[in-house]
């Protein structure tokens, strides 16, 4: 569990979002507020025929109308770091023995470089945030309540071909990290080792 203690600097990410801790994929943002985040897949609605589109709209409408708890839908747009991909292609070319394949990799790398020279490559990720307000002290019960709600969301979205995945603690931190430090998140991504180091440091400071 990653805990956040001490005074925040003015304008810091911690102060803005008021995170108290993240435990087993459950985000605690105040004394009684808890959140669970689902990352969802997507479907290409435009490629569906009219009958399929109508069916998707009906199922999605029934899903929203049937919810008895609030959800938050989040669309996260990020610029892809194409440099690492180009480096992988360069290494692939160096390790290739066949000249014809080397040439193909070179041509493909050149095409990618020209493509991103004047155009940013953007990725879009979709999330659904499920939350509860609870005075319950047993964290496992709180997590179970959130899982029941998230399971309902997942089952309904699967009816229209959308898959979901619950974010774990590291993925939640990485998500917020990308919001508040977009440049650093591209150049210095958070690893599991760094997360454990942060966890130990905060807990040690608290003690």
Q: What is the pLDDT of residues 145-189, one digit of tens each?
A: 999 999 999 999 999 999 999 999 888 888 887 776 655 555 555
Q: What is the pLDDT of residues 96-154, one digit of tens each?
A: 888 888 899 889 888 888 877 777 777 789 999 999 999 988 989 999 999 999 999 99
200: pLDDT strictly greater than 90: no
pLDDT, residue 134, reads: 92
Share of the chain above pLDDT 70, in %: 78
Cβ atoms of 130 and 146 closer than 8 Å: yes
Which tokens sit at 148?
């029941």
Phi, psi of 4 (to 5 degrees): -120, 115
pLDDT, residue 172, reads: 87
Residue bearing tokens 């600097």: 9
State the average pLDDT over residues 43-57: 93
pLDDT, residue 192, reads: 55
Nearest to residue 139, comparing CAs of 23, 20, 31?
Answer: 23
Within 13 A of 36's CA, how many CA atoms are on the CB side?
23
pLDDT, residue 150, reads: 96
pTM to 2 decimal places: 0.69
Cβ atoms of 35 and 21 closer than 8 Å: no
Which tokens sit at 26?
């459950």
Q: Which of 16-20, 53-57, 154-158, 190-194 has the lowest mean pLDDT?
A: 190-194
- Res. 7 pLDDT band, cuts 50 70 90: very low
């Amino acid at each position: 569990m990653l805990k956040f203690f001490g005074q925040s600097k003015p304008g810091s990410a911690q102060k803005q979002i008021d995170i108290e801790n993240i435990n087993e994929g459950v985000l605690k943002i105040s004394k009684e507020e808890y959140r669970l985040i689902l990352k969802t897949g997507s479907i290409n609605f435009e490629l569906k025929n009219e009958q399929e589109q109508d069916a998707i709209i009906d199922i999605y409408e029934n899903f929203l109308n049937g919810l008895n708890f609030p959800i938050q839908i989040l669309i996260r747009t990020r610029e892809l770091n194409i440099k690492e991909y180009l480096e992988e292609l360069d290494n692939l070319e160096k390790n290739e023995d066949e000249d014809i394949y080397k040439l193909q990799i070179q041509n493909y790398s050149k095409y990618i470089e020209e493509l991103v020279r004047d155009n940013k490559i953007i990725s879009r990720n979709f999330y659904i945030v499920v939350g509860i307000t609870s005075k319950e002290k047993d964290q496992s019960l709180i997590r179970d309540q959130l899982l029941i709600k998230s399971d309902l969301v997942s089952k309904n979205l699967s009816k229209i071909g959308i898959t979901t995945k619950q974010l774990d603690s590291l993925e939640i931190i990485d998500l917020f990290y990308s919001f508040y430090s977009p440049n650093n998140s591209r150049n210095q991504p958070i690893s599991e080792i760094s997360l454990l180091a942060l966890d130990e440091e905060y807990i040690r400071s608290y003690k």
